[in-house]
């Protein structure tokens, strides 16, 4: 029979702040649910959201209080363990994508975003990355623009004229 020492639970970096933000968010949602119709009756439109957000407030408060009791983990840094450089890079790419989407348009900005992120994460040849990017972009474009007819930002590519030319080939 082996003797095992009990594992002591430790608090990760940022866990206390995250739990506190959960409490604040739950209280905000409770207030928003209350504003629907107050607590007038069990069959009112706001009754279920009010009950659900009350459970959220209770659960997040319990979690936050338990987190306060747990000792902090040693030799664990927030930046390295919770927000590594790869996550920061992808988040920066998403931010840049959202900024340039309207001006460059869906096709060019999505192509750049996909190419850079796939090349960074997959680390294969540029030709492989280009093939994956083009295939993905074509599939996404067909599904959203042609099948579901979602209006995507046009930007500098004359998308309407290109689609019109393609449609005229089948007429």
Query: How far apart (Å, rounded) are the C-alpha atoms in residues 36 and 50?
Result: 9
The pLDDT score that the predictor gives to residue 84 is 86
Query: How far apart (Å, rounded) are the C-alpha atoms in residues 106 and 96?
Result: 13
Residue with tokens 């927000």: 83
Q: Give the residue-averaged pLDDT of 75-80.
A: 80
The pLDDT score that the predictor gives to residue 164 is 81
User: Within this chain, do residues 64 and 125 fall inside the same structural domain, yes or no?
Assistant: no
Residues, the chain, total? Answer: 171
Domain boundary among 43, 60, 81: 81
Tokens of 44: 């009112």
User: Within this chain, do residues 88 and 158 fall inside the same structural domain, yes or no?
Assistant: yes
Q: Give the residue-averaged pLDDT of 89-108.
A: 96
pLDDT band of residue 3 (cuts 50, 70, 90) is low
- The total of structural domains in the chain comes to 2
Query: How far apart (Å, rounded) are the C-alpha atoms in residues 65 and 20?
Result: 9
| Sign of the dihedral through C-alpha 70, 72, 74, 78 | positive
Q: 11 - beta bridge partners? A: 72
Tokens of 144: 């959203």
In a domain, 1, yes or no: no
pLDDT band of residue 81 (cuts 50, 70, 90) is confident
In a domain, 9, yes or no: no
In a domain, 2, yes or no: no
Range of the domain at 110: 84-170
Query: How far apart (Å, rounded) are the C-alpha atoms in residues 93 and 114?
Result: 10
The pLDDT score that the predictor gives to residue 74 is 86
Residue with tokens 């968010």: 25
pLDDT cut 70: percent of the chain above it = 96
Q: Give the residue-averaged pLDDT of 154-164.
A: 84
User: Within this chain, do residues 26 and 90 fall inside the same structural domain, yes or no?
Assistant: no
């Amino acid at each position: 029979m082996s003797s095992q020492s009990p594992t002591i639970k430790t608090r990760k970096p940022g866990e206390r702040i995250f739990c506190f933000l959960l409490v604040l968010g739950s209280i905000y949602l409770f207030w928003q649910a209350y504003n629907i119709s107050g607590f007038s009756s069990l069959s009112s439109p706001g009754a279920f959201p009010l009950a659900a957000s009350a459970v959220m407030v209770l659960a997040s408060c319990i979690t936050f209080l338990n987190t306060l009791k747990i000792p902090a983990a040693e030799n664990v840094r927030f930046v390295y363990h919770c927000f590594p450089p790869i996550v920061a890079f992808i988040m920066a790419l998403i931010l840049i994508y959202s900024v340039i989407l309207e001006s460059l348009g869906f096709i060019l900005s999505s192509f750049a975003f996909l190419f850079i992120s796939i090349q960074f994460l997959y680390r294969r040849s540029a030709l492989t990355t280009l093939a994956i990017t083009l295939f993905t972009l074509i599939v996404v474009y067909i599904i959203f623009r042609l099948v579901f007819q979602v209006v995507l930002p046009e930007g500098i590519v004359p998308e309407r004229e290109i689609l019109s030319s393609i449609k005229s080939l089948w007429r």
